[in-house]
C-alpha cells in the first residue's frame, strides 16, 4: 500500500449536487486509472477544494463508500482505496447507483432471493433461534423503532447461507437494506412479523422453494411500498 498521495485531477462538482455525484467522482479515479486499489486518496481538505462541496456532503459520500467496502479511513492515517476493491465490483456498482432507488431495491431482491434459498439448505438451529428472537423483538416494539431487529433478521439469513464468495456482498446487502428502510415513511410491525414468520417457517422446514416464495412476497411488498412513495404518480 502506498503511503504517499498521488497527484490527481477531478472534474469540478457544483455546490447543489448530492453526495452521490461525489461518489461518482471518487470512483472515477479508479475507472480512469489515476489511482489503483491500495492507493491513498487526497486529504479531506484537498477533496473539499477540488470538488467544491461542503464538508457534510463529502463526509456522506465517504461514509457510503466505506460502508460498501470501497475505501478504508484510518485515524490520522488518511483514506485508502481497499486493496481488494477489484474483487468487489458489486460494491462499486452499488456506489455508482446510490441515488437510483429502484435499482438499489432490485439489487437487494436479487441478493436476498438467492441467499434465502441457500440458507434454507444450511441454516442451523442456533441461527433459527436467533431469527425467532428478532421476530419477538419486532412484536414487542411499541414505537415502531424496530429497524435494527429487522436488519438483523436479514443479516442472519445472509450469514447462514454460509458461502465465502457471497460473504463479500453481505455489507452491500445491509447497505441496500438501510437505504430501503430510510425511504419508508410509515411502519407496519404486524405485517413485518407476519412476513418474517412465514420466511422463518420455510427456513425451519428447510424448504428452499417455499423460502424463495415467502421472501419474494415480502420483498415485493417492500419494493412496491417504497417505490410508490419514491414516485407517487406511478
- Cell numbers for 75: 485515524
With a threshold of 0.95, does the pTM exceed it? no
- Cell numbers for 181: 428502510
Q: Which residues contact 158 (CB under 8 A, 6 or more apart)?
A: 111, 112, 115, 119, 166, 170, 173, 174
- CA 13 from centre of chain: 25
Q: Which CATH superfamily hosts domain 100-230?
A: GntR ligand-binding domain-like (1.20.120.530)
pLDDT tens digits for the chain (234 residues)? 556 667 776 655 544 356 888 888 888 888 788 888 889 999 999 999 988 888 999 998 898 888 777 889 888 789 998 886 655 667 677 776 777 888 888 888 988 999 999 999 999 999 999 999 999 999 998 877 788 899 999 999 999 998 877 776 777 777 778 777 877 777 889 999 999 999 999 999 999 999 999 999 999 999 998 888 666 555
Domain residue ranges in the chain: 19-89, 100-230
CATH code of domain 19-89: 1.10.10.10
Between CA 120 and CA 32 the distance in angstroms is: 42
Radius of gyration from C-alpha coordinates of the chain: 20
Between CA 135 and CA 151 the distance in angstroms is: 11
Amino acid at each position: 500500500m502506498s503511503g504517499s498521495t498521488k497527484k490527481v485531477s477531478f472534474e469540478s462538482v457544483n455546490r447543489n449536487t448530492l453526495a452521490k455525484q461525489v461518489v461518482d467522482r471518487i470512483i472515477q479515479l479508479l475507472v480512469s486509472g489515476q489511482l489503483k486499489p491500495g492507493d491513498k486518496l487526497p486529504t479531506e481538505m484537498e477533496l473539499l477544494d477540488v470538488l467544491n462541496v461542503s464538508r457534510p456532503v463529502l463526509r456522506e459520500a465517504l461514509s457510503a463508500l466505506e460502508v460498501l467496502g470501497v475505501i478504508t479511513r484510518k485515524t490520522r492515517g488518511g483514506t485508502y482505496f481497499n486493496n481488494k476493491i477489484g474483487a468487489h465490483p458489486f460494491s462499486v456498482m452499488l456506489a455508482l447507483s446510490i441515488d437510483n432507488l429502484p435499482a438499489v431495491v432490485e439489487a437487494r431482491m436479487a441478493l436476498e432471493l438467492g441467499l434465502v434459498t441457500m440458507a434454507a439448505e444450511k441454516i442451523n438451529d442456533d441461527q433459527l433461534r436467533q431469527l425467532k428472537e428478532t421476530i419477538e423483538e419486532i412484536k414487542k416494539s411499541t414505537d415502531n423503532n424496530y429497524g435494527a431487529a429487522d436488519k438483523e433478521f436479514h443479516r442472519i439469513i445472509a450469514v447462514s447461507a454460509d458461502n465465502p464468495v457471497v460473504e463479500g456482498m453481505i455489507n452491500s446487502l445491509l447497505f441496500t437494506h438501510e437505504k430501503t428502510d430510510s425511504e419508508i415513511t410509515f411502519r407496519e410491525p404486524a405485517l413485518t412479523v407476519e412476513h418474517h414468520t412465514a420466511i422463518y417457517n420455510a427456513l425451519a422446514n428447510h424448504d428452499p422453494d417455499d423460502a424463495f416464495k415467502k421472501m419474494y412476497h415480502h420483498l415485493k411488498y417492500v419494493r412496491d411500498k417504497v417505490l410508490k412513495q419514491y414516485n407517487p404518480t406511478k
